[in-house]
Amino acid sequence: MRNIKKLHTAEYRPMGDLETWSPLPTRNLQMIDPFIFLNHHGPQTYPPNNDGLPFGPHPHRGMETVTFIIDGDIAHKDSGGHKSVIESGGVQWMTAGKGLIHAEISSDEFKEKGGPLEILQLWVNLPSRLKMVEPSYKGLQEDQISVWKNEEDTVKAQVVSGNFKGIRGAFDTPTSVDLSLVHFNEDSEIKLEIPKSHNIFFYVIRGKLEVNEIEVPELHLAEFSKNSEILEIVSREKSILLLGHAEPFDEKVVFGGPFVMNSEEEIRQAYDDYKAGKMGSWDE
């Protein structure tokens, strides 16, 4: 079975009244190539007449954002003309590519009525050959996302991209990244085979899991070695896992706020292009 090198605790990084936990990047772990950033917002309950999510218009270039709505909703708008409100159980996938501006806020209904909110946003890097592709966006509600279930109906995977035990993901993506949201009932288990060459992203959102006989509590990210293809996952309580895996790109990564490129010069160019309006304009 594949060995766990280390468990990483998500760091608490609140954003105003938005509860936020982040396991990546931290002081101890910069990235799990090509997975470069995760913010876990909530769980929390918003009162009626709230301000909702605080993510107004901002740019991106050189990476992708994958947003999982566990509870609540997100109203998305971007400079490419895309608009949607994705609700609980849904997923958004945005390829920033050469650059666009987007906003992720709560719907008017959520701000008026309030309610439970839990949302995760994962950033996936793009290789240098794809950093300047045309931007794209797709949002899918829960009933539009592919699902795999075991025979006992105790483990359910929402297959977001790539494939999970033969089920193809709901999103076609520019790179071969496998992403699934796996829901476990208590006293359930699953065995997976993941290529040894792949890096694994394994983050427990809720509950507690045993993977290859090591316990991974909620709000923890497991960092794996590459000694085996086998993962044996056991859940003693109801749990949710964000699971990804992919071939690493093995390229230099330079962060510049909302931009992820391969050099400092490319970051400076991104800021210049944004200021020059080359990532689109924003109309309220």
Binding residues: 58, 60, 102, 104
- Closest by CA to 145, choosing from 205, 222, 93, is 93
* 8 A C-beta contact, residue 23 and residue 32: no
Give me 92's structure tokens.
Answer: 């958004």
Query: End-to-end distance of the chain based on CA atoms, in angstroms?
Result: 52
* Residue numbering of the annotated binding site for Fe cation: 58, 60, 102, 104
Quote the tokens at residue 64.
Answer: 């992708």
Label residue 89 left, alpha or beta by phi (over 0 means left) and psi (-120 to 50 means alpha): left
Nearest to 174 by CA among 132, 141, 224: 132
CA dist., res. 171 & res. 137, Å (int) = 10
Answer yes or no: are the C-beta atoms of 138 and 92 closer than 8 Å.
yes
